[in-house]
Amino acid sequence: MTLTDSQQPKITGKTAGAATKPAVFVDGASGTTGLGIQERLRLQNDVVVKSIAEDKRKDAGAKRALMEEVDLVILCLPDDAAKETVALIDSMGASAPKVLDASTAFRVASDWTYGFPELAPDQADKIRAARKVSNPGCYPTGGIALLRPLVDAGLLPSDYPVTINAVSGYSGGGKSMIASFEDGSAPSFELYGLGFEHKHLPETQLYSKLTRRPIFVPSVGNYRQGMLVSVPLHLDTLPGEPSGADLHAALVKRYAGSTYVSVMPPENAATKGGRLEPEALNETNKLELYVFSSDKHRQAVLVARLDNLGKGASGAAVQNMRLMLGLAEK
């Protein structure tokens, strides 16, 4: 087996004690998320990134040998392949590394920890202690960030008929969608997921604590990356008829002190001129939350803005990796 290290030193934390740098292996590094993770890992000076020779990539024995040398494996594989690799890791016993999975295979599994550190006050600690963490989807990151604090605060009933609308750049749609936009054969804009079975719905409902399945309408625009997720609300249908300021205050309370999630002030929202574009946070791990509301009409629109390849995928994975390895926030 031929193994190469992309960083020094070659001695890993797993084989040489806690004083050395922890070692990480990204399995499936050729896809959009994997490439994004690799790019971000090149900026990390406190981890060792190990790789496997291309001709050994599907060799279970070679992969197992490599995984025995590392502290954490990040899976960027299709669901079925991720399940196969996790089964291999489960068979390794005490020599098994921690695993962070970026597929949808384990996002609602009861024995996995959901990798949205800002989900609840104790979620980051749960991720630190976990051996198996599922990286969130991009759309759910925005939707859950908006909805969960309001449900927890009693401002939004768990059975409320929630509608989530979203637009993303084409980079989140996989190789065929990327190719169609880049060769000019795709339309400028389109709705999709209109069969009510989008793969992000189960995690959105579960971690938002919704008992009624939300309606989710995703769309894709002719730009590479960046995302807006929005939730419209009729305020007079909510318990106690809260104001937009009440919703804003609940979000501010939940995310106070957060490094990556910012609740934008109402005056900031007002100065947007009723417009918000999706690309402002590209290449970052930031998530911005907005509350646009009208006292006159008793209506509100909650909006999350993020990079679907950043906080929506690769950036979140590196954030979770650092928590799982006991490294400082960066």
Residue 76 annotated among the catalytic residues of the structure: no
Report angle CA 253, 256, 260 to the nearest 5 degrees: 130
3-state secondary structure 249-300: HHHHHHHCCCCCEEECCHHHHHCCCCCCCCCCCCCCCCEEEEEEEECCCCEE
Burial group, residue 164, by CB count within 10 angstroms (0-12, 13-18, 19+)? buried
User: Per the residue annotation, which of 26, 77, 138, 247 is the catalytic one?
Assistant: 138
Q: From residue 328, how far is each of 87, 242, 323 by CA, in Å?
A: 30, 38, 7
Q: For the chain, first and last CA: distance in Å?
A: 34
Give the whole-angstrom CA distance, residue 18 versus residue 125. Answer: 20
Rounded to the nearest angstrom, the gap between the alpha carbon of residue 161 and the centroid of all alpha carbons in its chain is 24
Give the whole-angstrom CA distance, residue 62 versus residue 183. Answer: 37
| Active site (catalytic) residues | 138
